[in-house]
Amino acid sequence: MSDLAALAAEASTCTRCRLAESRTQVVFGTGHPRADLLFLGEGPGADEDAVGLPFVGRSGRLLDRVMAEEMGFTRADCYITNMVNCRPPGNRDPRPDEMATCRPWLDAQLAHIDPKVVVTLGNVATRTLLGRREGIGQLRGRSYPWEGRVVIPTYHPSAALRGTDGAMAGMRADLVRAKLALAGEMRAGEAGPAGPAGEATR
């Protein structure tokens, strides 16, 4: 059993916060255990809670498509996880104390996988990881240094599915930016390819 698999097994019985009371199962993460690219969302939804894997609903299918079209990647080439491993009731945003309680699991995942590039999906993951207050519309469009890695914020796929202005084009531009960062063609802090500005709710 790999260290990551052992960590997932340990997390599967976690009862550290209130989210354990209403979940069906822990949704730990999926993908390559030594991936250079990691996608980070906010938390599982109903589909993920039922299946036990992150981003398997409509948002996940859109992420898969855009990842393939803009990066030439599949899920086997990256790792996908969330700020919290249990579904918040009613698909609400995870609360700060819930994310803080779940953070050791994420930190352990990052330590085991050691990705070069982290793509944060939406407001919650981006603000929490970077410790910023601006919305995703202001934070996306560039890369950020973070603990020896490059963080590239982008819209949550659900924003594109809702038709949020500029979200789809922004996602595409940001994933091109992530591909350049993986290739070493863009340093943290650089803007890279242009994309639309604007605010989204996720």
Q: Is residue 140 part of a domain?
A: yes
Please state the rounded mean pLDDT for residues 102-116. 97
Q: Is residue 113 part of a domain?
A: yes
Residue 77 exposed, middle or buried by CB count within 10 Å (0-12, 13-18, 19+): middle
In tens, the pLDDT along 4-45 reads 999 999 999 999 999 999 999 999 999 999 999 999 999 999
In tens, the pLDDT along 45-59 reads 999 999 999 999 999
Task: Place 1 in a pLDDT band, splitting at 50, 70 and 90.
Answer: very low
Predicted pLDDT of residue 198: 46
How many domains does the chain divide into? 1
Lowest mean pLDDT among 19-28, 79-88, 125-134, 177-186: 177-186
Q: Reduce the DSSP state of residue 86 to 3 states and report it.
A: coil
Q: Is residue 192 part of a domain?
A: no
Task: Place 188 in a pLDDT band, splitting at 50, 70 and 90.
Answer: low
- What is the residue range of 117's domain? 3-182
Q: Is residue 189 part of a domain?
A: no
Cα 49 to Cα 51: distance, rounded to the nearest angstrom: 6
Do 80 and 39 form a contact (C-beta atoms < 8 A)? yes
Please state the rounded mean pLDDT for residues 168-178. 98
**Whether residue 194 has pLDDT greater than 70:** no
In tens, the pLDDT along 125-136 reads 999 999 999 999
Q: Is residue 169 part of a domain?
A: yes
In tens, the pLDDT along 10-20 reads 999 999 999 99
Task: Report residue 12 CA to chain centroid gap.
Answer: 19
pTM (predicted TM-score): 0.92
Q: Is residue 188 part of a domain?
A: no
Q: Which two tokens stand for residue 144?
A: 């950020």
Predicted pLDDT of residue 200: 45
Q: Is residue 12 part of a domain?
A: yes
Amino acid at 118: V
Q: Is residue 50 part of a domain?
A: yes
Predicted pLDDT of residue 185: 72
The CATH number linked to 135 is 3.40.470.10
**Whether residue 61 has pLDDT greater than 90:** yes
Tell me what the pLDDT averaged over the chain comes to: 93
Please state the rounded mean pLDDT for residues 70-89. 98
